[in-house]
């Protein structure tokens, strides 16, 4: 199991477009992947679950994965978030 904390940096947080990009990227991996925000933990491959967290800019979340490609999955998703999903201020 791999987990890493990351802060959301894109201006609009995880609204529809970045959430869709995140879920699409997570879907490439065979590992179970989740996001934890506070006490809530959701399947990172679920767009509805991700949208339900209402993740805004500056929010810290934990991304975790368990499975054969867990390290690559977490690494790629962290990179996507830290790149700001291609958005700028």
pLDDT of residue 89: 57
pLDDT tens track of the chain, all 89 residues? 999 999 999 998 999 999 999 999 999 999 999 999 999 999 999 999 999 999 999 999 999 999 999 999 999 999 999 999 887 65
Number of compact structural domains in the chain:
1
Structural domain that includes position 77: 2-86
Catalytic residue check, 15: yes
From the list 15, 41, 57, 72, the catalytic residue is: 15
Q: Please state the pTM of the whole predicted model.
A: 0.93
Diameter over CA atoms, the chain: 36
Q: How far is CA 75 from CA 15, 39, 42, 52, in A?
A: 21, 23, 18, 23
**CATH code for position 32:** 3.30.1340.10
Token code pair at residue 11? 């201006």
């Amino acid at each position: 199991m791999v987990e890493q904390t990351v802060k959301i940096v894109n201006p609009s947080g995880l609204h529809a477009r970045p959430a869709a990009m995140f879920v699409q990227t997570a879907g490439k991996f065979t590992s179970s992947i989740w996001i934890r925000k506070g006490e809530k933990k959701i399947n990172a491959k679920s767009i509805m679950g991700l949208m339900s967290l209402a993740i805004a800019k500056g929010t810290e979340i934990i991304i975790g994965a368990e499975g054969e490609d867990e390290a690559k999955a977490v690494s790629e998703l962290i990179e996507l978030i830290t790149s700001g999903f291609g958005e700028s201020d």
